[in-house]
Chains A and B, each alone.
Chain A
Amino acid sequence: MTLDTFVLQLTNGLVFSLLLFLMAAGLSLIFGLMDVVNLAHGAFYLLGGYLGLSIVRWGGSFWLALLLAPLLVGVLGLLLELTLLRRLYRRGHLDQVLATFGVALIVADLMRAAWGAYVEVVAPPALLAGQVAIGGLAFPTYRLAVIAVGLSLALGLWLFVERSTVGMQIRAGVSDPQMAGMLGVDVPRLFAGVFAGGCALAAFSGVAAAPILTLYPGLDSEILILALVVVVVGGLGTLRGAFFGSLIVGMADVFGKALLPEFSVFAIFVVMAAVLLTRPAGLFGRATATRGA
């Protein structure tokens, strides 16, 4: 691998990592707060992408898609939380996870019915369609934009969770929901909000990734599983873990595919196995790995 291809792959790895992060951040926060793994998260990612595709096709701009699709999916997430998950709070987390799996099946089939089983390509907005030359290397402008947006969103999310009042409530809820409830935090509302927000983030990631990864049935589970690995590697329930986990998994995926195409999946899982053997709770986990169903 020459230095040039290395730099290009590094860029691709960063792009993929940040897209993964947007997926995994929602997944991880939802898990940290509610102890629920949202198995419909991948479906929401893909739904975001497909909605974006339709918005662009109906004459809306890519930018509108980037705004509207997450909003729609966020509302869907909110409805799901209010109608389905809330009924299962008292019953334990396993049932909630299973319910989200049912939703994943339903949404996946509805998407297949609505958008068919073809590979759909979404063109990046004209403004970002070209390439940028840096140091003799040509980088696709869109990918650089994704990096910029991804990093700023990561920073924004971090600031939101660390600095804002709502963020403080979320952190309180992650570390001890009961205590947070006693301190006057409206826990059900917080759950609903974080769940909806996480789904919206996934959808945003789906729209942003569509020009790069395309859209096709089955992408939902592929992305979901990578995001799950991210969360396992990074540690459940932490934003920092989701970020660094995404970097590790994203890079392992991109470089694995470049170096050992046949065994690229192995790269990711070797990383995961190594992390689990040394730190069962993940790199940044607070031994939460023993929590759950």
Chain B
Amino acid sequence: MARPPWVPIRALGRHHPAPSVWRATMENNAMRERWEQFTNTGSRWGSLVLVALLAVLPAVAPPYLRSLVIEVLILAIFAMSLDLLLGYTGMVSFGHAAFLGLGAYLLAFFTRSVGANLLQALPVVLLGVALFAVVAGFLALRTSGIAFLMLTLAISQMLFGLAIKWSSVTGGSDGLAVARPYVGIGGATLGFGPDRSFYYLTLASFALAWWLLRRITASPFGHALRGIKANEPRMQALGYRTHRLKLTAFVIAGLFAGVAGMLLAAFNRHASPELFGWAVSGEAIIMVIVGGSGTLVGPILGATLVHLLESYVSSYTELWRLVMGLVFVGFVLFAPQGIIGLLRRRGRPPSEVELAAAIKEPEPAALPKERRT
């Protein structure tokens, strides 16, 4: 749609909505679209500014903050990857931690048996994650809805059990140490220690993951996923092989989560069985829901908020999960669209459709289900 000349191009990238002004201008479609883009997958300028700010951060921030940001960025990759399933495709996986743990453990195996060159490790680990994702996805996608949720949970818990019990290979509950990773081509190597280099490795991974997921969610494939979320039987009637698309989304999400797991293991120099735990999967869901599902900015916001809350609260009390649980239940009750939803609500009045969607996901209507027969 053509943008009327009087609408400033970058208006939305710069300031947050001043509600009164906004309401007046939000009638304008181009404006609305830009605001949605900004709160959705991130506008080009907004994301560049964010990444640039993060790039200069180590120069001014203490090491403690640097570590905190590293963790936030890794969790943001993890949460974004989950949202590809949860928010975009409507597949509620409660076992996304499986891929985080798998990435971490496969990296640990690789560094112990072959070496810590990330350039070699990356394809091998990702191949392993992808193979697992295909098998797990094939099994889990025989069901949908709540049963899918339970199955993904069970599958990740199986890996958790394996990591704990099969101690001769996995190190049991102690987990495995991970060698200091480096990137090496020929004789030239670049090591990633507990200094700025790892920060930049993480930031680069985050920026790349964000960019790729933006491309994917905006692509025809991404649109098809949204169609599946809205009305899967109708998509089939349009000729879509929805099962294959969902499996593809499952594998892609698994790959990004695997990368997050590799980073986490490389950062902690350790892969621990807790990475497979249902608490980790649940935390990722919390991040997505609190931030705003069906967007990419939402999981980034959610990961930031949840992790900062966690490190802040846990410095005062052991009971940070209690606090997080309360915050989460509050969001589920009063703001199911998350922070993004709150921002949008401030930005403009929601349309009828959005209200309806906020109350209930639209149900696929007319296709009679085979089970009723």
Whether chain A touches chain B in the assembled complex (some CB pair under 8 Å) = yes
- Please provide the chain A residues from 9 to 46 with a CB less than 8 Å away from any CB of chain B in the complex: 31, 35-37
Contact among A99, A109, A264 with B333 in the assembled complex (CB-CB below 8 Å): A99
The count of residues in chain B whose C-beta lies closer than 8 Å to any C-beta of chain A is 49
Known: A84-B333, A286-B371. A112 touches B318 (CB 8 A): yes
Compute how far the CA of A15 lies from the CA of B103 in the bound complex, rounded to whole angstroms: 38
- The 0/1 profile, CB within 8 Å of B marked 1, for residues 62-103 of chain A is 000000000000000000000010011011111101110111
- CB contacts (< 8 Å) of B144 on chain A: these are 289-290, 292
User: Which of B148, B154, B279, B319 has the most chain A CB atoms closer than 10 A to its own CB?
Assistant: B154
In the complex where A109-B325, A287-B371 touch, is A277 in contact with B333 (Cβ < 8 A)?
Answer: no
Beta-carbon contact of B154 and A225 below 8 Å: yes
Is A263 an interface residue, CB under 8 A from the partner? yes
| A-B pairs with beta carbons under 8 Å apart, 26 shown | A35-B146, A36-B146, A37-B146, A88-B333, A91-B360, A94-B361, A98-B285, A105-B322, A106-B322, A108-B321, A112-B319, A113-B322, A228-B154, A261-B165, A262-B168, A265-B162, A266-B162, A276-B142, A277-B142, A286-B371, A289-B142, A289-B147, A290-B143, A292-B146, A293-B90, A293-B92
At the interface, yes or no: A229 with Cβ under 8 Å from chain B?
yes
Closest Cβ of chain A: how far from B24's Cβ, in Å? Answer: 32
Contact call A289/B143, Cβ cutoff below 8 A:
yes
Could you give, for residues 195-208 of chain B, a 1 whenever the CB lies within 8 Å of some chain A CB and a 0 otherwise?
Answer: 00000000000000
Q: Are A262 and B148 touching (Cβ within 8 A)?
A: no
A293, B329: Cβ atoms under 8 Å? no
Q: Which chain B residues border A268 with CB–CB below 8 Å? A: 158
**B278–A221 touching, CB < 8 Å:** yes
A291 smallest CB distance to B (angstroms):
6
| B190 at interface, CB cutoff 8 A | no
Q: CA of A268 to CA of B160 in the docked complex: distance in angstroms?
A: 13
Contact: B165 with A262, CB < 8 Å? yes
Given contacts A92-B360, A98-B285, contact A228 B325 (CB under 8 A): no
Whole-angstrom distance between the alpha carbons of A110 and B326 in the complex?
12
The chain B residue with its CB closest to the CB of A236 is B147
Check B155–A269 contact: CB distance below 8 A: yes
Complex contacts, B278 vs chain A, CB 8 Å: 221, 225
Cβ of A215 within 8 Å of any chain B Cβ, yes or no, is no
Asked whether B370 lies within 8 Å of A263 as measured between CB atoms, the reply is: no
A275-293 residues with Cβ-Cβ distance < 8 A to B are 276-277, 280, 286-293
Q: How far is the CA of A45 from the CA of B319 in the complex (A)?
A: 20
Nearest residue, chain A, Cβ from B148: A292
**Quick one: CB contact mask for B150-181 with A, threshold 8 Å, 1 for yes?**
11011101100110011110000000000000
| Residues on the A chain within 8 Å of B63, using CB | none
Contacts of A228 in B (CB 8 A): 150, 153-154
Q: Is B299 an interface residue (CB 8 A)?
A: no
A213 interface residue per 8 A CB criterion:
no
* Residue ID in chain A nearest B373 by CB atoms: A287
Render A98-141 as a binary contact track against B, CB cut-off 8 A, 1 for contact: 11011111101110110000000000000000000000000000
Verify B321–A105 contact, CB threshold 8 A.
yes
- Closest CB-CB distance, A248 to chain B, in whole Å? 14
Given the complex, which residues of A lie within 8 Å of B289, measured CB to CB? 98
| Residues of A with C-beta under 8 A to B1 | none
Interface residues of B in 296-353 (CB under 8 A from A): 318-322, 324-326, 328-329, 332-333, 336
Q: How far is the CA of A124 from the CA of B189 in the complex (A)?
A: 63
Q: Does A105 contact B359, Cβ atoms closer than 8 Å?
A: no
| Interface residue? A210 (CB, 8 A) | no
Query: Mostly helix, strand, loop or mixed at chain B's interface?
Result: helix
B38-61 vs A, CB cutoff 8 Å, 1 = contact: the mask equals 000000000000000000000000
**Residues from chain B with Cβ under 8 Å of A287 in the complex:** 370-371
Contact present for B333 and A262 (CB under 8 Å): no
Cα–Cα distance between A84 and B285 once the two chains are bound (Å): 19
| Assembly CA distance A91 to B149 (angstroms) | 18
Interface of A is mostly: helix
User: With an 8 A cutoff between CB atoms, is B15 at the interface?
Assistant: no
Q: Bound state CA distance, A272 and B95, in angstroms?
A: 16
In contact, A102 and B325 (Cβ under 8 angstroms):
yes
Q: How far is the CA of A88 from the CA of B162 in the complex (A)?
A: 36
Contacts known (A105-B322, A290-B369, A290-B371); A84 close to B329, Cβ less than 8 A = yes
Task: Find B324's partner among A91, A95, A105, A280 (CB 8 Å cutoff).
Answer: A105
A232 at the interface (CB under 8 A from B): yes
A37 and B154: CB pair below 8 A? no
- Whether, in the assembled complex, A273 has its beta carbon less than 8 Å from a beta carbon of chain B, the answer is yes
Q: Closest CB of chain B to A107's CB: distance in Å?
A: 8
Q: Is the CB of A293 within 8 A of B145?
A: yes
Given A106-B322, A112-B318, A280-B143: A37 touches B279 (CB 8 Å cut-off) = no
Contact B142 A109 (CB under 8 A): no
Q: A102-B328, A106-B322 are in contact. List 11 more A-B contacts (CB 8 A).
A: A35-B146, A91-B336, A97-B92, A98-B289, A106-B326, A261-B165, A262-B165, A280-B142, A292-B144, A293-B146, A293-B149
In the complex, which residues of chain B have a beta carbon less than 8 angstroms from the beta carbon of A36?
146
Does A225 lie within 8 Å of B162, measured CB to CB?
no
Which residues of B are found within 8 Å of A261, using beta-carbon distances?
165
**CB-CB < 8 A to B157: which residues of A?**
225, 265
* B282 sits at the interface (CB 8 A): yes
Asked if B359 and A106 make an inter-chain contact with CB atoms under 8 angstroms apart, the answer reads no
B7 contacts A by Cβ under 8 Å: no
Does B139 reach chain A (CB closer than 8 Å)? yes
Query: Residue on B with the closest CB to A229?
Result: B154
Given known contacts A91-B360, A266-B158, is B318 in contact with A113 (CB within 8 Å)? yes
Across the interface, which residues of A come within 8 angstroms of B333, CB to CB?
Answer: 84, 87-88, 99
